[in-house]
């Protein structure tokens, strides 16, 4: 029988305590506990703190431990609520100048921009956040709601959206908006946030349960490998152009899903586990290793938050 030593050239290490900094794939025998152990990569969702205002079609910006979510809908009204998240607790901040759902946003917890929004046929409204106050900013060139976006408060990009599923893209330089290259596939309600920066963006999903994925270089959109599961109704999105994830949304016939997919810069793969709560119209932000899903719609608006720990390492007891 072939032994581990013959395959790898080394015997399994015998140690009295687990290694403090093992590598993925490493295997060892713990003589103190009498167990064979290994180290492997894991990707999981876990429960975070609930938002103070349950809503859907809200947007999120920032990181998993320093996030801002604002705007949205309930089944009865548009929302102006704004909340910040510290990794465990949501705190209400000053509200938007006006209630708006289906708004898109980009930036950080202390320097953010929100653009467009409901009701139909959409708004050109732009709002700016400085960490303590919301103010009205320079309007978009075209009305839209359910758009997606990426970037910072001084270098952002807004693309897609409805009314009538637009392919329009606009760039923000901190002062004004300019028109840029158009999407190959016109659509609204794609990933609630695109992934990346103004000059290196990824956009995925949206429309009528589309799988289409596109990459933006600051001036031109290019079609790249598609999602495995077509999803509409503002699935969550987070990450960068080369390391992104999407989660939730709806599939035909308008059923909420929990499915999570990972982008490695070339293709999408489906993660073995998805969100604990199947939902659509949620806010997503953060990075591929540490993302946040907040709010959304099941059969009504929800307030729960889930935290993504991607490509983490877990010790597995084999025997």
Q: What is the DSSP string of 222-256?
A: EEEPPPSS--BS--EEEE-SSSEEEE--EETTTEE
| 219-272 pLDDT per residue, tens | 999 999 999 999 998 899 999 999 999 999 999 888 999 999 999 999 999 998
Average pLDDT, the chain: 91
Q: What is the DSSP string of 96-131?
A: PSS--SS-EEEE-SSSEEEE--SSTT-B--EEEE-S
Give me the domains of the chain, ranges plus CATH numbers: 4-42+312-317 (no CATH), 44-310 (2.120.10.80)
pLDDT of residue 40: 64
Helix H or strand E segment including 36: strand 35-47
| 212-229 pLDDT per residue, tens | 999 999 999 999 999 999
Side-chain half-sphere exposure of 223, counting CA atoms within 13 A: 8
Q: CA–CA separation, 249 vs 153, rounded Å?
A: 27
pLDDT of residue 103: 95
Q: CA–CA separation, 284 vs 45, rounded Å?
A: 13
């Amino acid at each position: 029988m072939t032994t581990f030593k013959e395959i790898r050239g080394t015997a399994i290490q015998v140690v009295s305590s687990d290694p403090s900094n093992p590598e993925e794939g490493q295997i060892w025998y713990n003589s103190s506990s009498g167990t064979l152990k290994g180290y492997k990569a894991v990707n999981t969702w876990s429960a975070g703190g609930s938002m103070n205002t349950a809503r859907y079609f809200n947007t999120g910006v920032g990181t998993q431990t320093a996030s801002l979510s604002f705007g949205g809908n309930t089944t009865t009204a548009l929302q102006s609520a704004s909340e910040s998240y510290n990794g465990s607790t949501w705190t209400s901040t000053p509200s938007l100048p006006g209630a708006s759902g289906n708004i898109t946003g980009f930036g950080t917890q202390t320097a953010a921009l929100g653009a467009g929004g409901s009701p139909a046929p959409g708004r050109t409204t732009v709002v700016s956040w400085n960490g303590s106050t919301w103010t009205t900013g320079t309007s978009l060139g075209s009305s839209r709601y359910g758009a997606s976006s990426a970037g910072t408060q001084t270098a952002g990009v807004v693309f897609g959206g409805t009314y009538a599923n637009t392919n329009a893209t606009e760039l923000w330089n901190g002062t004004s908006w300019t028109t840029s290259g158009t999407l190959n596939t016109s659509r609204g309600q794609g990933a609630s946030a695109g992934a990346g920066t103004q000059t290196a963006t990824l956009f995925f999903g949206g429309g009528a349960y589309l799988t289409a994925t596109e990459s933006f270089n600051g001036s031109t959109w290019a079609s790249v490998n598609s999602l495995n599961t077509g999803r509409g109704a503002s699935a969550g999105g987070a990450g960068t152009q080369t390391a992104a994830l999407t989660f939730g949304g709806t599939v035909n016939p308008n059923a909420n899903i929990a499915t999570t997919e990972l982008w490695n810069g070339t293709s999408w793969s489906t993660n073995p586990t998805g969100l604990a709560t199947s939902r659509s119209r949620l806010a997503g932000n953060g990075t591929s290793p540490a993302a946040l899903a907040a709010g959304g719609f099941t059969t009504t608006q929800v307030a729960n938050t889930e935290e993504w720990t991607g490509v983490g390492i877990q010790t597995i007891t084999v025997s």
